[in-house]
Amino acid sequence: MSWFSRLFRSPKSNPQDTLKSIPIVKFDPSLVTTTVKADIKKNMRLIPELNTSNFNRLYDIALESVSRGGKQHLLCKALKEIEGISSSRAAEITLSLHSKANSLIDRERSKSIGIKHAVWMYSGVPCMLNPKSPTKAELRQDKAHSSANGKRYKIDKGLLLDGKWTWPGVEDGCKCSSRAVLSEN
């Protein structure tokens, strides 16, 4: 289990508390490849609140936040300054963008050292943005992710869950992680 997913082990944790407790992790900025940068930008474009004239500035901050590992507060602070974004929504967006970026960084790193398979690990905390009043889609996603626990998949392909190919940490609200399979490659 990665440090990131360990943060979500308590079902009582809320995104803001989680951000405060994020440990400083040694991080190699070169892991943020061109592919990772493009993915961060694509994911940011999908968030309506970020569609402002300040998008490029926010993207630069997001990049710095991911590249420096453990610097989520940089992005969260900038998001809170946007009109209409609450503290909890800023934390939610920050965690989501970091989770997706970390998932891709993990996959690229695994591939670069010849690891082709991984095992899906469900954290036990619901894969939902709002577990207190989940939408039908969130309930479906959580069910699919919990039943994926322990399943082996090809890292470049992912797992077909809830009708789409995906990886741990990529969907909004997902707290799953992965374990690399070191043999049978």
DSSP for 35-85 reads HHHHHHHHHHHT-GGG-STTHHHHHHHHHHHHHTSS-HHHHHHHHHTSTT-
Residue 36 binding Zn ion, by CB under 5 A: no
CB of residue 138 vs Zn ion: minimum separation in angstroms?
11
Residue 98 binding Zn ion, by CB under 5 A: no
Q: What are the structure tokens assigned to 64, written together? A: 């710095």
CB of residue 59 vs Zn ion: minimum separation in angstroms?
26
Closest CA to 62 of 37, 33, 29: 37
Residue from 36, 91, 97, 176 in contact with Zn ion (CB under 5 A): 176
Distance, in Å, from the CA atom of 76 to the CA atom of 95, rounded to the nearest integer, reads 9
The one segment of 54-62, 80-88, 99-107, 138-146 that binds Zn ion by CB under 5 A:
138-146
Residue 127 binding Zn ion, by CB under 5 A: yes
Residue 100 binding Zn ion, by CB under 5 A: no
The one segment of 49-57, 61-69, 95-103, 145-153 that binds Zn ion by CB under 5 A:
145-153
Task: Collect all residues with Cβ–Cβ distance below 8 Å to 88 and sequence separation of at least 6.
Answer: 14, 15, 16
Interface residues with Zn ion (CB under 5 A) are 127, 145, 174, 176
